[in-house]
Structure 1
Amino acid sequence: MLNPQWLRTFAALTELGNFTRAAERLDLTQAAVSQHLHHLEDALGLLVIRRPRAIELTPAGRALLDYCEAMEQARRRLDARVSGPAEAGEIGLITPESIGLALFPLMLDWQAQHPQWKIRYCFAPDPEVLDAVLTNRYDLGIVTLKPDDTRLTASKFMQEPLELVVPAGAKVRAWSHLETLGFIDHPDGRAMANRLLSRRFRKNASVADLPRNGFSNQIALILEFVARGLGFTVIPRYARAAFAQQYKIEVVECGSPVVETLWLIHRAEWPLPAPCARAVRYLEERMKG
């Protein structure tokens, strides 16, 4: 591989046409400039012909000059990609499904406004989100528990309240009413239900003692059970708000809210790319609105 300093010396020498001026620009001695050229000619053959008042490039010299210019253009492209705003690309975001039901359409709106940026979105539980960001398969992730891995930067994104959702018209004034309705479960269902229902029904047993009338691991489908009168469930607000048939369900007040903090994560070792940062600001503003 050719020494980059030798190439810089050769480029300055051909631009200025003079060993003295090239040495002054590069803060080198004339002897150093001559030595760099000698090293290059040892590797590539005769590059310049010394004339009384100038130098003349040989065919090999012209080829090397083209190579130097190509290397400089490549360096500028690299600088632009690493430290400057990229003109186009892809943004990868991976989140739990509940908040994803709210964020995904917003990201589609964002892509419509910035068509040069393509959105790649994935729904996944916390462990998969962490792994996807740590292995650089996704730029950004959202998790429900703040990670303690020093390779990740975690910042509060927003809070998501839990809601008790029942079929429209159902009367829920006592624990016995929940027993009659039956519980529609999901992977986080019992943990969420116990946290929320303990605020409203303090003296009753665990939700595990209630009839289990259904289960789905797809959060978008859980409320289909409830809308058909098959039971009640406890889910995050954004999952409930995304359900198309709101008239078929109701939210029951359970006293002081129970909220989950959502954490935005990305790799800590390098800055968040500018387009990703702009997309995050856009999402935060839209969700606040």
Structure 2
Amino acid sequence: MINPLWSRSLLALEKAGSFTRAAQALDLTQAAVSQHIRQLEDRFGAVVLRRSRALEWTPVGLALLDHARELEAAELRLAARLVGQDVLAGDVEVVTPGSVGLLLNPLLLDLQEREPGLVIRHRFAPDAGVVEDVAANRADFGIASIRPDDPRLAATPFLEEPLELIVPVNEVAESWEDLRRIGMIDHPDGKAMATRLLSRRFGGNPGVRHLPVRGFSNQVGLILEPVARGLGFTVLPRYARQAFAKQDRICVVECGTPVVDTLWLLHRAEWPLPARARHVVEHLRRSLGLPTDMAL
């Protein structure tokens, strides 16, 4: 590994054209700059030929200059990343559950279209996966419907999302027997969501496990397709229903007092949210009409 001080002296010598001016630029003595170049020459061979009027760079010297420039560029990129200057370029890792992800993904694409230097990597995961990814630094931030009890994670309220009972457009769901007749389109969180919501609308019911299951999908964008085809009902968060293209083929059943989940913005608590990621969060909040002055 080359001493960074030697590389700095090499670049200063190239720019200044003489050992005296290079030393002045670096606020070093001429002897110190000469010693740095001598260290390089002891290791790699002749670096520069000292002519009476100008310096002449050897092939070894030119190769070392290229390497020094690469190191300098890498340090500048690192500095920009650490101090948050480069907010419009670079990668941002985002992880969300499927439902709110369907709402946010077009907004993320809008931002990347406007600012192509950003590379936004948006992954869908269940709540537990969101928490795990953020805690393990696999995502800059995530959104989950649970507030984790983990001191490594900061959680800020982001959105609220009600659960909805959704049936085929021509169906009636006025009783528990109607739900038994229609049957359920299940999904990974289907029974848990249905249990929470249906107790509001159908008190004293025997339990979701007694309802016939007519289908299952683990893809949030596909769960409502069998409902639209009349094959069953389902319970989903509102944002998943709103993202479905065939709104004229489904119907939301009023279930009384809403069951509302708070969606939490999660990031590591030990350090501030990176500037690029904060820029993305602020864009999402503006797009959704939410306050943008919350501390992160």
Range with greater deviation from structure 2 (31-40 or 194-203): 31-40
The structure-2 alpha-carbon separation of the partners of 1:203 and 1:88, relative to structure 1 and needing over 3 Å to count, comes to: same
In 2 relative to 1, CA 47–229 (structure 1 residues): closer, same or farther, beyond 3 Å? Answer: closer
Pair 1:77 & 2:72 matched: no
The share of aligned pairs that are identical, in percent, is 54
- Structure 2: state its 5+ residue gaps: 291-296
Residue 96 (structure 2) pairs with residue 95 (structure 1): yes
- The 3 A distance-change label for structure 1 pair 273 and 211 is same
Determine the C-alpha separation between the residues in 1 that align with 2:72 and 2:85.
16
TM-score (norm 1): 0.77
CA distance in 1, matches of 2:132, 2:184: 32
For 2:80, the aligned partner's letter is A
Residue equivalent to 2:294? none
Larger Rg: 1
Residues 5-51 of structure 1 deviation map (CA, whole Å, 9 limit, x = unaligned)? 576688889969898x99999898999899888877876789999xx
The answer for the alignment partner of 2:180 in structure 1 is 179
CA contact (8 A) 2:19 2:34 kept: no
Q: 1:85 to 1:173 in 2, by over 3 A?
A: same
Deviation, structure 1 residue 58:
8.5
For 1:95 and 1:130, the matched residues in 2 are separated by: 10
Describe the shift of the 1:13–1:228 C-alpha distance in structure 2 as closer, same or farther (beyond 3 A). closer
Deviation sequence 1:127-174 (CA, Å, 0-9, x none): 333333344443332222122333333322211100011121333332
**Across the two proteins, how many residue pairs are aligned to each other?**
286
Question: What is the CA deviation profile of residues 56-108 of structure 1, one whole-angstrom value per residue up to 9, with x for unaligned ones?
Answer: 97968x77888766654543332123232155333332211111111112222
**2-side partners of 1:232 and 1:147: how far apart?**
31
What is the distance in 1 between the residues matched to 2:240 and 2:12? Answer: 63
After TM superposition, the structure 1 = structure 2 runs for residues 27-46 of structure 1, keeping only pairs within 5 Å, are: none
Paired AA for residue 213 in structure 1: R
TM alignment of 1:117-156, pairs within 5 A: 117-156=118-157
For structure 1, the 5+ residue unaligned runs are 50-55
Structure 1 residue 288 corresponds to structure 2 residue 292: no
Q: Which residue does the alignment assign to 1:228? A: 229
Distance between the aligned counterparts of 1:271 and 1:71, measured in 2? 27
Q: What's 1:52 paired with?
A: none
Q: Counterpart of 1:95 in structure 2: which amino acid?
A: T
